[in-house]
Structure formats: C-alpha cells, structure tokens
Amino acid sequence: MPLDTAFTGQKFASVGTRPIRPDGIDKVTGRARYGADTTAPGQLVGLILRSPHAHARIKKIDISKAEKLPGVKAVLTSADLPDLTEGDKSMFDVLENCMARTTVFYEGHAVAAVAAIDAKTAKQALKLIKVDYEILPHVTDVDEAMSPKAPVLHPKMFTIGMEPRPKKASNIAKRTEYGHGDVEAGFAEADHIIKESFKTEQTHQGYIEPHACLATIGPDGQGELWVCTQGHFVYRNTCAQLLGMDVAKLKVTASEIGGGFGGKTHVWAEPVALALSRKANRPVKIVMSREEVFRASGPTSSTSIDVKIGVKNDGTITAAQAELRYQGGPYLGMWAELGAMTSFACYDLKNVKSVGYEVLVNRPKVAAYRAPSAPMAAFAVESVIDDLARKIGMDPIAFRIKNAAKQGTKSSYGPVYGPIGIGPTLEAAQNHPHMKAPLGKNQGRGMACGFWFNFGGQTCTDINIGIDGTVSLTVGTIDVGGSRAALSLVAAEELGVPYSQIKCNIADTGSLGHNDMTDGSRGTFSSSMATVFAARNAIKVLRDRAAQMMEIPVDDVVWEDGHAKAKGDSHGNLAPLSLKDIAAAAGNTGGPIAGHNEIVADGAGVSFATHICDVEVDPETGSTKVLRYTVIQDAGKAVHPTYVEGQYQGGAAQGIGWALNEEYIYGKDGRLQNAGFLDYRMPVCSDLPFIDTVILEIPNPNHPYGVRGVGETSIVPPLGAIGNAVSNAIGIRMNHAPMSPPRILKAIEGAKKH
C-alpha cells in the first residue's frame, strides 16, 4: 500500500532546532576517518600512469621492466579489465575512462597502474612502463570542436537528434531541443530584442579531499572497498559490474567524505584499485594527488551560449531563445540538455525555444557539479534579463516578478508547475534591507534567480531500539554536510524522544538495502521521509509490545511524548511505558524491536532561489571585491536550520569563485596549465564577506514535514548576480566567466576606445 507522504502541517518539538551534530567531536579532534585515513595489513601503494598527451593512439605498452622491479606486486593495463559492459555504452565509457584501451582522449587519461610495497617503488615502476604513443591532433575549445575542420575524437560519432542524421562524423554527439509556442511570432511582437553571446570556462568542484580508496579482493572473489563517495551503493554496483563480481560479494564502506558536490558520484580510480588488488592478492590503497584530481577526475563543462529575448514596453517577455553548446570531455553526457531544460525555467513564457549541443573535446570526462549545467545557462539568461529591464526602464526585480513562473505556468522544459516558490523569493529580495544599502564609487549591485530540480530516489532506513531504549537510526545516504543531525531530529520528532537518545549511523552496503547517491539535493529530503515511516513502523511494534505488557488490546494504546499510553477510562491506573521500559522487556514480548522503511521518495518538487550581491571593482587592477551577498531560498521546512544556511552559503561561495576567478586554462599543447590550488584560484576567507541567508518555508506538499531539497540551487544564481553587479559597477556588460581581473581590464580598456 503506498505510503501517505502528504504534508501534515504539524507543530514540531525537535525539527527546526540546532543541536550539535553527532559526528562533531570526531571532526574537530581529527578522529574522523576520511578516504585516505585507513590502512590494512600488507597494503600496497597504488599509482596510476597517465597520458602526457591530449589525444593519442596507444600503439604499445611494455610493462615487463616494471613487473620485474623488486617490490612491485602487480602492473595493470586495460588487458586486465575485460569489457563486461554488454553493450551498455555509458558503462563502457566509465570503463574506458578509468583505463584507456586503444586511445587516450585527454592529458591525464589513465593508461596503466602499479601496486608496490611503498610509494618510492611504485613511482619507480611507473617510470619503467614504456608507452608507445601515436600523437593525434587535439581540440579543447567547445566552439572549435564543432567546426568541420576540427580533429574528430570518435570516427563513428554521428550527431543524434539531428534530422537528417549527419553522414560525416563530428564531435557533436547530440542535439536536444526544448520549448513551446512560436518564438518567431513572439519576436515579431516585441518592442525590444536583445541578443548576446556568453562563454563560461571549465571549473572543478574543488573538494578539499582528493579521491582515495582502499580496495581488497580475496582469492574467493569477495571484496571490500573503503572509499570517499557520494554513493557507496552506486559505486558498489558499478565496480562489481566492471570487475565481473557479484554485487553482494563486494562490500563498500563509505568513509567520511571531504566534499563531493557531484564529483564523487562517478568512479575514477576505484575499479583500478580493485583490479590491482585482485591481481596482487593484497589490499591496494590509491590516493589521487591534487594534480591528478584536476587532470583526471570530473570537472564541469565549459560552455558557449547564445541568448535572444524579446520584450514589450510594458515589460512582458514575448519570446526567449537560447542555443547552448556544452563540452562533456570525450564522452556523451546530458550537459547541454540540462542547460537547455533549465535556462528559462524561472519564467512564464508563451514562446520559448532552447537548443543544446553536446560537444566532445580532449579534456577530462565531465561530471556533475552541484545543479549541473544550470549555473552557466543562468549566467547568460539573467544577464540578458537585466539588460532588457534596463532598456525599458524597469527595476530588475520588478521585471522578474512580472515574468516569473508561477503555479500553472508551462515550464520551459515541458510540464506545468504546481505550487512553486520563485515569486516569494523575489518579493523577499525586493523587501530585503540589502536593497537599501548605499553604494559608492565603482560599486554595483546585481541580482539573479536560479532554478534546479530536486530528486527523491531509492531510499531505505532502519530504526533499531537498543535494550536501554536508545535508538540506532541507520541510513544509507552519505552525510556531506550535517544530515546525520537533521535525520536524528526527524527520528526524535517521530518517536517523541530527545535528540540525545538517537544515534545516526551510515550503513555499509552489506548492512542495508540499496540507497541512491547523495546528489540532486536528496540526502536529507529522502532519508528524512524514510526515517519518518521507519519510525512510524517502529511505533506500531512498540504499541503492540506495550499492549502485551499492559495486557490490553493494542487499539487501546496510543504513542504520545515518547511513551505508550493506555487510553480510555477502563485503563486509568496503567502507567505510561517509555521506550526504555518497552525495550527492557523486548525479549519477552517478541524479540528485538525495529522499524524499517524502503521507499522511492519520488515526486520531489523543484527549487528556486534569488540572490543579491554588491561588488566593488578596482578600475586599475580589474579586481572585484564582494561587499555584500544575500541568498534567499525556499527550504520547505529547515530541519536543522544551521545546516540549511550552510548549504546556501557554500553554494554561493562556489558560484562566486566560478564567477570571478576559477577556470581551467589550457595551453596550445592541450595540457592543463593550472592543475593546482595556487593557480586554480578558489575563494579564500579574505575574499568573501558574511553571506546573509533567508530561509523561506513554503511547505512541500509531498513530504510529511514539508521538507524540500536544498543543497544545489544556491550555486545557480551567483554567476548571474555577480555578472550583473560587475556590469553595473563598470557600466559594461561582461559576457565571459570568470570575470577575472584581466577580462575586466580588457573590457574597461575596450570601452574607453569607443
């Protein structure tokens, strides 16, 4: 029978408070163990040999000298990783990305690996592996890769989604289109049309913890993997398939994770570590260096976007159109498609058309990065929206309010919206004190909206009552930012006991059913839903046990304030039974007391945010200082408000870095020039002000507590908000992110000449 997930509008005792997180002491004392923080007896050091070329055919690999080096226990090439993907192209891409087979597609692409008794020996062994490359021409720019003269990565790639299907191979893997109405008719109605092109450079999720894992496979085909990941069940499934193992025989334990943001939803070195362990018959630990993380994990797309929007003098948008070209590295993903789906999602449009092109280049395989593809599209669209507002003399917030999507709007990606929160976030922005802060010389204010989907997904949770009445809450979604605290609050709320009576653990893959990854802003949203139902199931058992203890019918037992209470006059003198009382008698009343729930937390809503920011641009250096920043976003119900604020602030900070300084810089040789934190410049403490947050709580009708996903949306508006602020500060539209000092200076110099 399907569970009733509808919002109940109850008042909360625990949910909404701010207790200390259960993993807190471990994390402030250095006790918490992350991916690289474990060891196994006899473990070997695994190192990966990577291509120095952006594009090359592998003619021959000679591992014989490396194998003979004393201390080397295994040397691996793709020959040790047979193709077990059975025609599943995207799985094959994962396999090939983990270890090149016939061709290397980017500088840093893995070609071989060794496991040795120590790092020194492993490094020496790598040097002894001889790879014979035939260097091929490469292409790294998204627009260049689309030109007919560009070197083609895959000779059998004929663009999907183009009618008729091209007969000539190209780097354009796919074309997708979204929209409705008639944009040409819409543009004909417009009084003003703005058409502008934008570029955004490639960025990395920038998690401070490099990928790390410890893999052990025994001669009986059973294995264990300790790894930092956003989804240990997904990693298990992928690794088991690639290595030809039974899923149940590979136990994956998720370590604490030092950041993921989407970059740890895909496997990188893990199948290699497992394969090395299998070959060497010893545990193998692989820890990627920072340089490897930049060169060979999964950054986000660089993009090239054209936007055209038409408006009437009264402020009504009559048509909106975009062409989005996103590069995915060497493999097909749905990056441009997500950009096409999200680009105009904030607005109520009669005529809209977005076309996306997935383009392949010789760069690492693109992975999801927090609301993947939406920030770039929002940068382009929110910039044009601002320019249009200025053109017709309308306030930028008022212009957006006039055209904002609302319940009943047909979204730009197809379905009609139910109740949504963009209107409230815009109104809250309009009334926020930030809008009244004075601006001085060289300072500018900008605002922008953002949209992202939220997901539900497969989730299960166990609640086990200990013999002393304390509660073990076992979940399967990785805790990236404090969700164990939030989930404990939910369990405390349902059971009616104090937060301190709950201990939340994240199970390994052997101890719980499948859970989808912590991505799509689903960690707290879906696990909290499963926790609510698991708790309610536990309460059914508790009431039954209490009924036995009290010797009354179970229908006469209610669960209130953490106690089983006899209701009705005939049971007047029966004392309430606490969790502790009932647990103490569990052995006599039927055994261990537990509540489980397995659900697909589906039907999650969508999420909107509005950001406002003030900047000061130094016209002599082109340097931008962020003076004030405000995030306004609907959380439905903030289970632990501190961690919701944290998500808002963290996403904003990443977006600010993306907007102002972060980019992958490629040389003409197709090699990444800035594979380190010195020159890949992320925001530091002195770059940012305090980030103000406003949590709106418009309940999600499809969650018992009204909770919405919150983790991703806050990275979507910053590029647009900063772009508008900088453009207002210097009086010139910036259309290339990051808006780094050299680009700003160039724009200022360029404007002087005209």
Partner 1 sequence: MSIQVSTTINGDRVDFICEADESLLDALRNRVGLTGAKEGCGTGDCGACSVSLDGRIVCSCLVLGAEAEGRGIDTIEGMSDGAILHPLQRKFLEHGALQCGICTPGFLMAAQAVLKKNPNPSEEEIRFGLAGNLCRCTGYDKIVRAVQDAALEMRGA
Partner 2 sequence: MAEIHLWGALRPAAGGASSVEVEAADIREMFRKLEERYPGMASHIARGVAVSINGKIYRDSWSEKLPGDAEIYLLPRIQGG
- Interface with partner 2 in residues 506-535 (CB under 8 A): 519-522
Instruction: Please count the residues of the chain.
Output: 754
The answer to the question of residue 326 lying near partner 2 (CB under 8 A) is no
The answer to the question of residue 262 lying near partner 1 (CB under 8 A) is no
The answer to the question of residue 203 lying near partner 2 (CB under 8 A) is no
Q: One symbol per residue from 244 to 283: x for binding partner 2 (CB under 8 A), - otherwise; what is it?
A: -----------------xxx-x------------------
Number of residues that bind partner 1 (CB under 8 A): 56
For residue 300, the tally of other CB atoms under 10 A from its CB is 29
Residue 260 or 396: which CB sits closer to partner 2? 260
Question: Which residues pair with residue 175 across a beta bridge?
Answer: 357
| Distance from C-alpha of 302 to C-alpha of 300, rounded to nearest angstrom | 7
The answer to the question of residue 627 lying near partner 1 (CB under 8 A) is no
Of 652, 672, 696, 744, the residue at the interface with partner 1 (CB under 8 A) is 652
- Interface with partner 2 in residues 41-100 (CB under 8 A): none
The answer to the question of residue 37 lying near partner 1 (CB under 8 A) is yes
For residue 571, the tally of other CB atoms under 10 A from its CB is 15
Residue 213 or 360: which CB sits closer to partner 1? 213
Q: Where do the H-state alpha helices sit in 329-439? A: 335-342, 374-391, 396-403, 422-430
- Interface with partner 2 in residues 285-304 (CB under 8 A): none
The answer to the question of residue 677 lying near partner 1 (CB under 8 A) is yes
Nearest approach, Cβ of residue 120 and partner 1 (Å): 7
The answer to the question of residue 232 lying near partner 2 (CB under 8 A) is no
| DSSP at 643 | H
Contact between residue 643 and residue 722 where contact means Cβ atoms under 8 Å apart: no
The answer to the question of residue 683 lying near partner 1 (CB under 8 A) is yes
Nearest approach, Cβ of residue 209 and partner 2 (Å): 16
- Interface with partner 1 in residues 684-703 (CB under 8 A): 684-686, 688, 690-691
Contact between residue 274 and residue 223 where contact means Cβ atoms under 8 Å apart: yes
Contact between residue 446 and residue 725 where contact means Cβ atoms under 8 Å apart: yes
Q: Where do the H-state alpha helices sit in 30-76? A: 64-68
The answer to the question of residue 182 lying near partner 2 (CB under 8 A) is no
The answer to the question of residue 378 lying near partner 2 (CB under 8 A) is no
Residue 459 or 693: which CB sits closer to partner 1? 693
3-class state of residue 536 by DSSP: helix
Instruction: Name residue, tokens 């796919």.
Output: 174
**Which one of 21-29, 108-116, 173-181, 268-276 is the stretch in contact with partner 1 (CB under 8 A)?**
21-29
| Distance from C-alpha of 737 to C-alpha of 303, rounded to nearest angstrom | 10
Residue 330 or 683: which CB sits closer to partner 1? 683
The answer to the question of residue 120 lying near partner 1 (CB under 8 A) is yes
The strands making up 284-287's β-sheet, listed across from edge to edge, are: 72-76, 110-116, 44-50, 284-287, 212-217, 223-227, 250-254
- Sequence-separated (6 or more) residues with CB below 8 Å from residue 64: none
The answer to the question of residue 117 lying near partner 1 (CB under 8 A) is no
| Distance from C-alpha of 203 to C-alpha of 664, rounded to nearest angstrom | 6
Q: Give ∠ CA 445-448-454 in degrees, rounded to 5.
A: 150
Instruction: Name residue, tokens 């993009």.
Output: 303
Interstrand relation of 192-200 and 736-737 (parallel, antiparallel or unpaired) = parallel
The answer to the question of residue 124 lying near partner 1 (CB under 8 A) is no
The answer to the question of residue 573 lying near partner 1 (CB under 8 A) is no
Residue 260 or 595: which CB sits closer to partner 1? 260
* CA distances for 303 relative to 24, 197, 468, 673, angstroms: 39, 11, 57, 19
The answer to the question of residue 28 lying near partner 1 (CB under 8 A) is yes
- Sequence-separated (6 or more) residues with CB below 8 Å from residue 621: 741, 745
Contact between residue 624 and residue 616 where contact means Cβ atoms under 8 Å apart: yes
Interstrand relation of 624-634 and 691-696 (parallel, antiparallel or unpaired) = parallel
- Interface with partner 2 in residues 592-611 (CB under 8 A): 600, 602-606
The answer to the question of residue 479 lying near partner 2 (CB under 8 A) is no
End-to-end CA, the chain: 70
**Which one of 73-81, 251-259, 427-435, 603-611 is the stretch in contact with partner 1 (CB under 8 A)?**
251-259
**Which one of 24-32, 77-85, 158-166, 588-596 is the stretch in contact with partner 1 (CB under 8 A)?**
24-32
Interaction partner, residue 208 (partner 2, partner 1, none; CB < 5-8 Å by kind) = partner 1
Nearest approach, Cβ of residue 88 and partner 2 (Å): 9
Residue 29 or 102: which CB sits closer to partner 1? 29
Question: Which residues pair with residue 314 across a beta bridge?
Answer: none
Of 482, 520, 706, 717, the residue at the interface with partner 1 (CB under 8 A) is 482
For residue 502, the tally of other CB atoms under 10 A from its CB is 26
Residue 321 or 649: which CB sits closer to partner 1? 649
Instruction: Name residue, tokens 């508006």.
Output: 717
The answer to the question of residue 369 lying near partner 2 (CB under 8 A) is yes
Interaction partner, residue 417 (partner 1, partner 2, none; CB < 5-8 Å by kind) = partner 2
- Sequence-separated (6 or more) residues with CB below 8 Å from residue 593: 464, 465, 538, 541, 542, 545, 582, 583, 586
| Distance from C-alpha of 543 to C-alpha of 359, rounded to nearest angstrom | 59
Q: What are the DSSP E strand ranges found in 428-527?
A: 443-453, 458-465, 471-475, 502-506
Interaction partner, residue 534 (partner 1, partner 2, none; CB < 5-8 Å by kind) = none
Nearest approach, Cβ of residue 614 and partner 2 (Å): 28
The answer to the question of residue 104 lying near partner 1 (CB under 8 A) is no
Which residues sit at the interface with partner 2, rule CB under 8 A? 2, 160-161, 163, 176-178, 205, 261-263, 265, 334, 337-338, 341, 367-372, 411, 413-418, 452-458, 519-522, 600, 602-606, 702, 712
Which residues sit at the interface with partner 1, rule CB under 8 A? 18, 20-21, 23-25, 27-34, 36-37, 120, 205-210, 256-261, 287, 289-290, 480-482, 642-643, 645-647, 649-650, 652-654, 676-678, 682-686, 688, 690-691
